[in-house]
Structure 1
Amino acid sequence: MNRLAKLFTVSALAMAALTSQAQSAAQPVPKGVAALGASYIAARDGTPLYYKDWGPKEGPVVIFSHGWPLNSDSWESQMMFLADHGFRVVAHDRRGHGRSGQPWNDHHMNQYADDLAAVIEALNLKDATLVGFSTGGGEVARYIGRHGTRRVAKVVFVSAVTPIMVKTPTNPEGVSMDVFDGLRKGSLENRAQLYKDLASGPFFGFNRPGAKPSEGLIDSFWRQGMVAGHKPTFDSIKAFSETNFVEDLKKIDKPTLVVHGDDDQIVPIATTGRATARLVRNARLVEYAGAPHGITDTHKDRLNQDLLEFIKR
């Protein structure tokens, strides 16, 4: 077989494999297959949602929702830690992000919440602790607002965008719309550079005096952002900044922990973490002094312990 023929054969086999994978991912995952650790669940509109399901399957369930423009990889430190302590930990890549499908439309909080519900229902998860970071905090709040707490035992908001980020007449201390317009502008002009600038600057607090930037964390953030779709991440800026979660938070009737850094330059604590704790009945607020937005990495040891103690309580 000559070289050209070999290349053609290899390409054909690769294409067949990819086609088969895409077709199987777009179909609803039978419960039996999901129990064996299949990597995809179909959303109600057929969008394939990638997920991780680690730890003992009989363990107490903890479900993680990630931030923008990241994916479930951003939760690996917490998932490894809790799985090692006997918990079943589940996290999915939000539609348009990571390894999930990238449909053109429907990148808004209602759809995010319904996709989370699809994962929970397909895996038949019950008595779960929901943990949402940043945009994922909004996803968790809207899930409860739309689907209730029948399958929920506890709730954790980490650096969450709730109750609303953008400055409005009823939220005068919020973040100016100019900031989010700047994110949209940067995304259209050079989103690769935007993600690099966020990661090397305010996200992890590496722009603060005396900070020691981690090239590994910067590269990981950039990699996760670039795997996500351009249109989905662009649309998600509106979703995480302008969605009002006040009524969703009022519906939470489970024990709730709110964790936020008081030097969060991305999601300022005054109008998010502290406001969330005031709106959720009997919520407990834990502030990390001097901590940035990305505390799942910069303060992972403390966060892991706080999560463990809260969930086991």
Structure 2
Amino acid sequence: MHPSSLHTRAVRWALALSLLALFAPARAADKHYMVTAPDGVALAVQESGNPDGPAIVFIHGLLGSRLNWEQQVGSAQLRGYRLITYDLRGHGLSGKPTGLEPYRQGRRWADDLAAVLAATQARKPVLAGWSLGGAVISNYLAAYGDAGIGGAVYVDGVIELAADQITPHPEIYRDVTSPDLKTHLDAERSFLALCFRRSPDSATFERLLANAALASWDMQTAVQSMSVAAAEGLGKARVPVLLLYGAQDVLVQAGPAIARAKAINPRVRSIVYAGSGHAPFLEEPERFNRDLAAFMQSLAR
């Protein structure tokens, strides 16, 4: 075939693919929208993956945002699922109301999650909550029950803000609320470093640090005494619950946290990653994604 004919054919194929992309139905990966919580706080929601697949709602931790879940959103192992992320109040692109009251009551965080679930209309989604996100799940279960969800995954989740479960770092938790900007930012960097036994690459760490700098100062003060209804929520859950913790976590003590969760709900299952710290989904993403996919498949069976 003459080279000019090959070139013409290539151009036609490129044009056809461009038109297909232009007129193809929008995928969930293209969805970014705002949801309003009952008290008026705007919540930034994002979707990716298969819009027709079983839904997973990812709930990040303190000083995070949806960016924490990049290794899950881009995972080949999870591409068949509808992946929903949102920025908690006081974080990321969500609203940051002033004062302590909008953050101290755990029920407000539960109402946020309920508003997101209602807006997405996800049927029996699985909730995956990291660190503070675990407390959000418990508060949601206490307020709304588990009839609307298919299961829950606590990822180094806060079961209770109890001294035997949370490793004390008084200087960091003091300094993140400091009015001095340098002290505040240095404390956020120190907090973020404690999240990992295996630190991510420098670009990812810097992005997550910028993530932390977006967080509300009032939220960082109030959340340290946030109410967590573990017994009323996690304790009464009848849906399958999986605990995924890093054995090297220096923020949430894996052993006592898992023991407390099983004491209030003996039906929960647990997996411990011997080599991970507080963020196994970033430190061992392939293993984490495989375990999450296996949990989803077990629900389907």
Normalising by structure 1, report the TM-score.
0.78
**1:59 alignment counterpart:** 53
**1:185 alignment counterpart:** 175
The Cα shift of 1:288 comes to 0.7
**2:139 alignment counterpart:** 142
Number of residue pairs matched?
A: 265
Q: What is the identity, as a one-letter code, of the residue corresponding to 2:42?
A: P
1:115 and 2:112 aligned? yes
**2:90 alignment counterpart:** 96
State how 1:162-181 maps to structure 2 within 5 Å: 162=159, 164-167=160-163, 173-175=164-166, 179-180=169-170
Deviations 1:178-227 (A, max 9, x none): 63574133431422111212233x21126xxxxx6632332122111111
Q: What is the identity, as a one-letter code, of the residue corresponding to 1:277?
A: K
CA distance in 2, matches of 1:219, 1:42: 30
Distance 1:79 1:56, change over 3 A: same
State how 1:1-313 maps to structure 2 within 5 Å: 37-81=31-75, 84-104=78-98, 105-108=101-104, 109-162=106-159, 164-167=160-163, 173-175=164-166, 179-180=169-170, 182-188=172-178, 189=180, 190-200=183-193, 202-205=194-197, 214-239=201-226, 243-313=228-298
Asked if the contact 1:130/1:154 (under 8 Å) is kept, the reply is yes
- Structure 2 SS opposite 1:53: strand
Deviations 1:7-49 (A, max 9, x none): xxxxxxxxxxxxxxxxxxxxxxxxxxx9983511111122110
Distance 1:141 1:247, change over 3 A: same
CA distance in 2, matches of 1:226, 1:155: 29
- Structure 1 SS opposite 2:72: helix
Normalising by structure 2, report the TM-score.
0.81
Structure 1's unaligned 5+ residue stretches are 1-33, 168-172, 207-211
Q: Which moved more, 1:274-283 or 1:217-226?
A: 274-283
CA distance in 1, matches of 2:200, 2:87: 26
Asked if the contact 2:176/2:188 (under 8 Å) is kept, the reply is no
- Structure 2 SS opposite 1:63: strand
The Cα shift of 1:91 comes to 1.1
Q: Which moved more, 1:85-94 or 1:190-199?
A: 190-199
Deviations 1:259-281 (A, max 9, x none): 10111101111221332134224
The Cα shift of 1:99 comes to 0.1
Using the aligned pairs only, state the percent identity. Answer: 25
CA distance in 1, matches of 2:123, 2:283: 31
Q: Which protein is bigger by CA-based radius of gyration? A: 2
CA distance in 1, matches of 2:252, 2:161: 7
CA distance in 2, matches of 1:283, 1:100: 32
Distance 1:83 1:101, change over 3 A: farther
Q: What is the identity, as a one-letter code, of the residue corresponding to 1:252?
A: A
**1:4 alignment counterpart:** none
Asked if the contact 1:199/1:217 (under 8 Å) is kept, the reply is no
The Cα shift of 1:83 comes to 7.8
**2:15 alignment counterpart:** none
CA distance in 2, matches of 1:127, 1:283: 18
Q: Which moved more, 1:47-56 or 1:244-253?
A: 244-253
CA distance in 1, matches of 2:268, 2:121: 27
The Cα RMSD (Å) is 2.3
